[in-house]
A and B are shown apart, each in its own frame.
Chain A
Amino acid sequence: MHPAISVIFFTVVSGAGYGLMALVTLSMLFKIDGGLDHDQVLVSGTLAMILITIGLMSSSLHLANPKNAWRSMSRFRTSWLSREAVLAVSFYPMAALWLLQWYLDSSMSNVVTLVLTFLLFAGSIAVNFATGMLYASLKTIPQWNTSLVPANYIMLGLMLGSLLLTLLRLYYGLPIDQMLIINIGLIATAGILKIMYYFWIGKPHGPSINTATAFTRATVRLFDVGHTSGTFLTDEFGYQVARFKILLLRWVVYLAAFLIPGTLLAYNLEFDSLMVLLVLAFIGVFVERWLFFAEARHVVTLYHGNQRV
């Protein structure tokens, strides 16, 4: 699949924003490391909403006809893309109301605030789940059609969000003992799930050129693809990446996203050193998302000569 930069940017940055919102609400619900005070909630919640908004604006860049984008919320009963849009848009009034409560000096004992906090936590997980399901629901791309995909999207979002929250806590000079345990737990879980995913897609296991052409009792070879230069289909689905480059980039993902931040978190952290680790983790997840698209093989490439996908 063609790795579109706007979609990669959207899924990583918005995913981290929803992850940050999930961790902020979680730390308020359970007073993790003592929670945050009103101003700190406002700043971290606003930062999450800014990340989410930048990402969503980037996602509209890949639309060829964005003036109809408002219609994308109409088919939530069947389409995961529509569900993602509905969930992402309904997140805004909830977040605005929640932040307003903190601005008006409310406290967690208020039942309405408590319910709203929980809804925001569930909502931020749900958006990342919908983003993952958007890809996982496609039977035409065997590398995506697995439940590991939404699991990856949720865990990587939570992982980046938790690192962001730890960084904010360091900035405010707050304790980070419990946050560090959460950080390491999320990095380990996200890393293990990603390794599982790479093993899962290791060998082609989807349809073959034989079922694609219904000649299941003979070898089938492409003679002539029938067009002299690229088409929409070859532009969108014909992306090829060298095997060695994939293996190299997977190691970049392992090291930058999981191993280096996960190991160095155990040492005494300053704001600056965590900043470096966070940038490294973002680079790792960007490479992970690029690979997610570049490694995916659409079944239509069988008609263009691939033997298996």
Chain B
Amino acid sequence: MRLGLVIDLDVCVGCNACTVSCKQWNTSGTTGPLTDYMPYGKDPSGVWFNRIRNYEIGDYPNNKTVHFPMSCMHCEDAACVTVCPTGASYKRKEDGIVLVDQDKCMGCNYCSWACPYGARELDREDGTMKKCTLCVDRIYDQSLDPIDRQPSCVITCPAHARHFGDFDDPNSNVNKLVRERGGNALMPELGYNPTNMYLPPRAVKNEPALEKESLISKVKDWVNKSVAR
């Protein structure tokens, strides 16, 4: 099995429901707490496993705002695991989830240097590295309904922009989506083979923003051309 996420950039509205539900679930989960520093102070900061950034793609009038959630990509060739000197970082053989053993981590930050996606954050209170667990303490929980055995961020997303599944199964929901919509990996040139995939926005026809041709605009064009000559 190779478990991971597909994130649909076409429908993500950037509401941050996934990041908040991630924080809520995982702060009491296996690698919790996700410590906050000065949560009510002037500069609130803290550990998050999932962050959303917002980008403008393309130039006006063919531009679009894209909301971009990012968490651990659970790479096939995870550099964070190979560089870890203590063996605290490991990738599970059975499902490909990358985890940090909190009892072995010495907080050297080296794995966060090796990760291109900013998926790992040091908890300054605990002195250990923390990261997305793909809700490993939830997806195998037999006491939950099968529909609830998914990562917290996936269940929470009100726009259904997040999908969870097995990338080893060619007919899984995630592989179908990647095939049909042309899913992309981020920074593939580094060669870490990230598991999570991003679906690009669907092509839309933009409203023409240019003025209609009128008699005055034709005259203006003609004058401009004559002056240029």
A positions within 8 Å CB-CB of B? 1, 62-69, 71-75, 78-82, 85, 134, 137-141, 207, 211-215, 218-233, 236-237, 298-300, 303-304
Query: Residue B217 at the A interface, CB < 8 A?
Result: no
Most buried by A among B43, B59, B85, B108: B85
Interface string of B182-226 (1 = CB under 8 A from A): 001111111100000010100000000000000000000000000
Query: Residue B57 at the A interface, CB < 8 A?
Result: yes
Q: In the complex, which residues of chain B have a beta carbon less than 8 angstroms from the beta carbon of A62?
A: 108-109
> Given A232-B121, A233-B118, list of 5 further CB < 8 A pairs?
A65-B128, A74-B87, A75-B85, A81-B110, A229-B43
Which B60-112 residues have a C-beta within 8 angstroms of A? 62, 65-66, 68, 70, 79, 81-88, 103-110, 112
Most buried by B among A69, A141, A221, A303: A303
Q: In the complex, which residues of chain B have a beta carbon less than 8 angstroms from the beta carbon of A75?
A: 84-87
Alpha-carbon distance between A71 and B198 when the two chains are bound, in angstroms: 37
Between A and B, 13 residue pairs with Cβ closer than 8 Å are A69-B106, A74-B85, A78-B82, A140-B79, A140-B116, A211-B189, A213-B186, A214-B184, A214-B186, A219-B57, A222-B55, A231-B51, A300-B115
Contact between chains at B86 and A140 (CB < 8 Å): no
Contact between chains at A140 and B115 (CB < 8 Å): yes
Contact between chains at B200 and A215 (CB < 8 Å): yes
Complex partner residue of B187 from A67, A212, A232, CB under 8 angstroms:
A212
Alpha-carbon distance between A225 and B51 when the two chains are bound, in angstroms: 9
B positions within 8 Å CB-CB of A? 42-45, 47-48, 51-59, 62, 65-66, 68, 70, 79, 81-88, 103-110, 112-118, 121-122, 124, 126-128, 184-191, 198, 200
Q: In the complex, which residues of chain B have a beta carbon less than 8 angstroms from the beta carbon of A137?
A: 83
Complex partner residue of B56 from A64, A65, A69, A220, CB under 8 angstroms:
A220
Complex partner residue of B106 from A71, A232, A236, CB under 8 angstroms:
A71
Q: In the complex, which residues of chain B have a beta carbon less than 8 angstroms from the beta carbon of A140?
A: 79, 113-116, 190
Contact between chains at B112 and A223 (CB < 8 Å): no
Q: In the complex, which residues of chain B have a beta carbon less than 8 angstroms from the beta carbon of A64?
A: 106-109, 122, 124, 127-128
Complex partner residue of A236 from B58, B68, B112, CB under 8 angstroms:
B112
Alpha-carbon distance between A65 and B127 when the two chains are bound, in angstroms: 5
Please give me the 3 A-B residue pairs with the lowest Cβ-Cβ distance, nearest first.
A64-B107, A65-B127, A64-B127
Alpha-carbon distance between A85 and B85 when the two chains are bound, in angstroms: 9
Known A-B contacts A65-B127, A207-B190; the reply to A232 vs B112 at CB < 8 A is yes
Contact between chains at A82 and B85 (CB < 8 Å): yes
Complex partner residue of B47 from A232, A237, A298, CB under 8 angstroms:
A232
Q: In the complex, which residues of chain A have a beta carbon less than 8 angstroms from the beta carbon of B42?
A: 229
Q: In the complex, which residues of chain B have a beta carbon less than 8 angstroms from the beta carbon of A218?
A: 57-59, 62
Alpha-carbon distance between A71 and B43 when the two chains are bound, in angstroms: 35
Alpha-carbon distance between A46 and B54 when the two chains are bound, in angstroms: 57
Contact between chains at B83 and A139 (CB < 8 Å): no
Residue of B nearest to A214 (CB): B184
Q: In the complex, which residues of chain A have a beta carbon less than 8 angstroms from the beta carbon of B190?
A: 139-140, 207, 299
The minimal Cβ–Cβ distance linking A308 to chain B, given in whole angstroms, is 13
Contact between chains at A66 and B106 (CB < 8 Å): yes
Alpha-carbon distance between A153 and B78 when the two chains are bound, in angstroms: 27
Residue of A nearest to B118 (CB): A300
Alpha-carbon distance between A75 and B108 when the two chains are bound, in angstroms: 14
Contact between chains at A223 and B85 (CB < 8 Å): no
Known A-B contacts A73-B85, A211-B188, A222-B53; the reply to A63 vs B108 at CB < 8 A is yes
Q: In the complex, which residues of chain A have a beta carbon less than 8 angstroms from the beta carbon of B109?
A: 62, 64, 236
The minimal Cβ–Cβ distance linking B91 to chain A, given in whole angstroms, is 12
Alpha-carbon distance between A67 and B126 when the two chains are bound, in angstroms: 12
Contact between chains at A220 and B55 (CB < 8 Å): yes
Contact between chains at B55 and A223 (CB < 8 Å): yes
Q: In the complex, which residues of chain B have a beta carbon less than 8 angstroms from the beta carbon of A230?
A: 43, 45
Contact between chains at A223 and B106 (CB < 8 Å): no
Contact between chains at A221 and B115 (CB < 8 Å): no
The minimal Cβ–Cβ distance linking A193 to chain B, given in whole angstroms, is 23
